[in-house]
A and B are shown apart, each in its own frame.
Chain A
Amino acid sequence: MSWTNLLLQFILSYISTVCFGVLLHIPVKAYNASGLIGGITWVIYWVMYYQHHCGLAISNLVAAILISLFSMFAARHRKMPMIVFNVPALVPFVPGGQAYKMVRNFAIGNNHLVMVYMYQVIVIVGAITLGFGLGELMIRALGYLKKLLRKRAGATR
């Protein structure tokens, strides 16, 4: 793992996230924040999956949780809906390449590889769904904790 390669991955995923944001007409003020979220989560995913070989499911799960949390913070900070940040940031994780390879092998009649890629697509989509759910849970838990602490502080005063 070299630092220049890491930086390159960050820059490329930042650019791709911002470009996808342009396609989805997100507000101009949200370009930088969503690009940063996409870049940081992709770098973490890249280190986990390609360097430490943590496996497809865990890497995507962690990435989805992080996207969920980061976009919640950005949404609170910028006062915009969360969807503006998490949809563009997800673009490097969408299993487009695997889905394409699945269809291609299906057309050629290579049934063994179809199952391999279908498994990958199902794992990635399932991990992302679960990751968003867990992220939502963590956000609610944080809100609950904050409320509890405030109440405790109010009671002692």
Chain B
Amino acid sequence: MLTERRRTLALRTCVLAGRLLIENGSNMERVNDTIERMAKAAGLRQFQDFTTLTGLVLGSDNLPNAQVANIRRRQNNLSKVAAVNEVSREFTAGLLQLPEAYAQLRSIDRQKAGHWQNQFEALAAAILSAVLMVVFTGDIVDWWLAFIAGGLSYAVFSFIVRKFKIQYLGEFCASIVIGLIACEGVKLGVATNADDIIIGGVMPLVPGIPLTNAARDLVSGNLISAPTRGIEALLTAVAIGSAIVLVLRFE
């Protein structure tokens, strides 16, 4: 027989796992699957879950109250998703006890990025821009300007998101930087094709995770989460596009 305290802890563990998964960009089917398995392993009977992109509600038959978590900020950190997955797998296999699983989830929640993480990401974005520009357009001479545009714009984007915590405007400002670099490069005569540089430069900002998750949620029949993810992807695309149009209008 489970004590009241243990049942409450089990429900709180499930809420924490679900919140971590949604916050870090997992798809909804995976979230529901993970928390249902964990609840079953923890011994909660008649477990019910209701998950959306901005919050989740969990309840069990033998507990009087449901637990709610609000999700304000979403980011893309798939290593946290993998870590939560690992904890849930060990817990359902019986290798971890409930308090240990809760403590491990708390430590995943508190995990901070490394010291050089932002510089490393900007470098990755720069390489991504240059490589994808060559793949998509076959234009080889302008690779170095796409490298600079991609890296600098991603640095601006991550700075704005970290410091001011505003979604969509980070992409907007970063795209303005890309447009300015591409147009000035062509104007100064060091580059040949502004379009190619812009296509390469915007690739790190393209909403890949929301788009994939929207598709997968739609296929699995989650009609609340899928359109919301789609709108998220659409808003990001509109922010990028309008910034580029703004630059092209004044150049």
Contacts and interface: CB of A to CB of B under 8 A. Distances in A.
Contacts, number: 140
Nearest to B29: A136
7 cross-chain pairs, A with B, having the tightest CB-CB distances, nearest first: A103-B241, A22-B124, A19-B128, A133-B219, A107-B245, A129-B215, A19-B124
Contact of A27 (B26, B82, B215): B82
Interface string A78-103: 01111110111011101011011111
Interface string B152-187: 001000000000000000000000000000000000
Interface residues of B, number: 53
A112 interface: no
Nearest to B150: A19
A100 B220 contact: no
Contacts of A90: 208, 211-212
Contacts of B80: 25
A122 B200 CA distance: 21
A83 B30 contact: yes
A6 interface: no
A63 interface: no
A70 interface: no
Contacts of B81: 81, 83-84
B82 A91 contact: no
Contacts of B244: 100, 103-104
Given A24-B77, A83-B209, 8 more contacts: A26-B79, A27-B78, A79-B86, A83-B27, A87-B209, A92-B135, A103-B245, A129-B215
A100 to B, nearest CB: 6
Interface string A104-147: 10111000000000000000010011001100100000000000
Interface string B111-138: 0010000001100110110011011110
Interface of A, secondary structure class, is helix
Nearest to B245: A107
B199 A100 contact: yes
Interface centre among A24, A88, A108 (most CB of B within 10 A): A24
B131 A81 contact: no
Interface of A: 9, 12-13, 15-16, 19-20, 22-27, 30, 42, 79-84, 86-88, 90-92, 94, 96-97, 99-104, 106-108, 125, 128-129, 132-133, 136
Given A25-B78, A81-B30, A91 B85 contact: no
B216 interface: yes
B198 interface: yes
Given A9-B135, A96-B199, A97-B136, A132 B216 contact: yes
Nearest to A78: B82
A112 B169 CA distance: 30
A24 B78 contact: yes
A79 B137 CA distance: 37
Given A129-B215, A136-B219, A26 B132 contact: no
B248 A104 contact: yes
Contacts of B85: 80-81
A138 B77 CA distance: 28
Contacts of B110: none
Contact of A16 (B77, B131, B249): B131
B68 interface: no
Contacts of B209: 24, 83, 87
